[in-house]
Amino acid sequence: MDRAGTLFPKLPLAQWVESFVDFLTNSLSVVFDTITAVLEFITENFVLLLEFVPPLLLIVLIALLAWWVVNWKLGLFALIGLGLINNLGYWPETIETIALVLVSVVISMVVGIPIGIWMSQKGAVQAIITPILDFMQTMPAFVYLIPAVVFFSLGMVPGVVATIIFSMPPTVRLTNLGIRQVDQELIEASNAFGSSTGQRLGKVQIPLAMPTIMAGINQTIMLSLSMVVIASMVGAPGLGTVVYRAVTQVAIGPGFEGGLSLVILAMLLDRITQGANKN
């Protein structure tokens, strides 16, 4: 028996994984460098764009957006909450967090929604992708940081990549679910009028499934925010860095301020996306 107490020797799974990662690193280094350059360009310029707008003006614009999408109460909450974050001195970190979350969510939507549509049309595709989504959702988030750092070094990019992998499954699942739940009679009626697959998706299934798809996007946003602190461990800037630094230094005050800023941002993004869903 080996030290694991079994009759069979331990499978060298760790060595297999490390060999596979080394193979990818050596063979696809150009691909990873390109992805890193593109994501750095997008995130850095997005941060610069947000920083170009004076904080008070940007806070007012976000408050007006919340008022327009939901109601005046959320607009007032946005004005007070974001004003508090600015007063505490965490506005630059908030901008970086917004950039990380929005870039991750947009990429998750661009990749996840088409995959969900594909799953809804092909049972075989759903059977293959569903276990992959299960793996992505159940794997501890910290594990994603290891290959992210190996492939993309430190900084914002590995944080974005890890966030995308962790937060994409709800968008894929609920896109697939929403389209599959469309009334079969409506689909048969569209087929009777000679609609193609694209016409049926674009004019019947996707519009009717939009509330469910938006619910998936909302969950993706929340999961992205939950990854902010974890992503800070690999150098991703933002409010997560404030919280992580406070934890390592056992600084209760700054940790509470950073956590409160994250809560305000999460509540605001959650209510806005829910309001957009209802509209």
Contact yes or no for 69/275 (Cβ under 8 A): yes
d(CA 85, CA 87): 5
| Residues 121 and 197 sit within 8 Å (Cβ to Cβ) | yes
DSSP for 35-47 reads HHHHHHHHHHHHH
Residuewise pLDDT in 10s, the chain (279 residues) = 455 555 667 777 778 878 887 787 888 788 888 888 888 888 888 889 888 889 999 999 999 999 998 888 989 999 999 999 999 889 999 998 988 898 989 999 999 999 999 988 888 888 999 998 888 888 777 777 777 777 777 778 888 888 888 888 999 999 999 888 887 777 777 777 777 777 777 777 888 888 889 888 889 988 888 887 788 887 788 888 888 888 888 788 888 888 899 889 888 988 888 877 666
Query: Under DSSP, is residue 136 helix (H, G, I), strand (E, B) or coil?
Result: helix
Do the beta carbons of residue 221 and residue 272 sit within 8 Å? no
- Long-range CB contact pairs, 162-166, < 8 A, 24+: 162/227, 162/230, 162/231, 162/234, 163/100, 163/101, 163/104, 163/223, 163/224, 163/227, 163/228, 163/231, 164/104, 164/107, 164/108, 164/111, 165/136, 166/136, 166/141, 166/223, 166/224, 166/227
Distance (Å, whole) CA 200 – CA 207: 10
Write out the two tokens for 195.
């609609």
Give the integer Cα–Cα distance in Å for 230 and 96: 15
* Residue 103 CB-density burial (10 A; 0-12 exposed, 13-18 middle, 19+ buried): buried
The two three-digit tokens of residue 2, written as one number: 């080996």
The SS3 of residue 227 is coil
* Nearest in space to 237 (alpha carbons), one of 108, 51, 41, 47: 47
> Helices 91-121 and 169-180: crossing angle, nearest 10°?
40
